[in-house]
Amino acid sequence: VITGVADDTNTAKVALVGVENKPGVAATVFKALAAKNVDVDMIVQSIRAVGEPKTDLIFTVAMDDVVLAREVLAELQKTVDIEAVNIDERMAKVSIIGAGMLGQPGVAAQMFDILSQ
């Protein structure tokens, strides 16, 4: 099922912690980044708990865009309720490649098992 693995060490994880959980906020964040030509990849929005007024918005950017992204987000914090901006530059993005992985339970377990060794 798995035919290859690709990695990208030229990426940073941006975590916007405690973002107001209402429609349009994520669009505002990504519009501000796009206006400065910051390319965003791999977006995850996680709700802390049902009814929680805050959410966390996590995404990746290229290392070349980290300084600019940090500046854009610092400016955005003046008008958008964001508790913290955390940027992790010590990470990599790993992708597994192969046909038929969907519907094959255990593929992620196999990948993480191999990575742990």
21 in a domain, yes or no? yes
3-class secondary-structure state, position 114: helix
Count: domains in the chain:
1
pLDDT > 90? residue 80? yes
pLDDT > 80? residue 51? no
Of 10, 16, 15, which is closest to residue 90 (Cα–Cα)? Answer: 10
Residue 111 pLDDT level (bands cut at 50, 70, 90): confident
How far lies 55's CA from each of 10, 42, 88, 113, in Å? 27, 17, 19, 30
Tell me the CATH number at 50: 3.30.70.260
Residue 108 pLDDT level (bands cut at 50, 70, 90): confident
pLDDT > 80? residue 12? yes
112 in a domain, yes or no? no
DSSP state of 80: S
Describe the strand order of the beta sheet including 40-47 as a list of residue ranges.
Answer: 40-47, 54-62, 11-20, 82-88
pLDDT of residue 40: 97
> Stretch 60-67: mean pLDDT, rounded?
98
Least confident of 8-17, 38-47, 107-116: 107-116
75 in a domain, yes or no? yes
> Stretch 82-95: mean pLDDT, rounded?
94
pLDDT > 80? residue 48? no
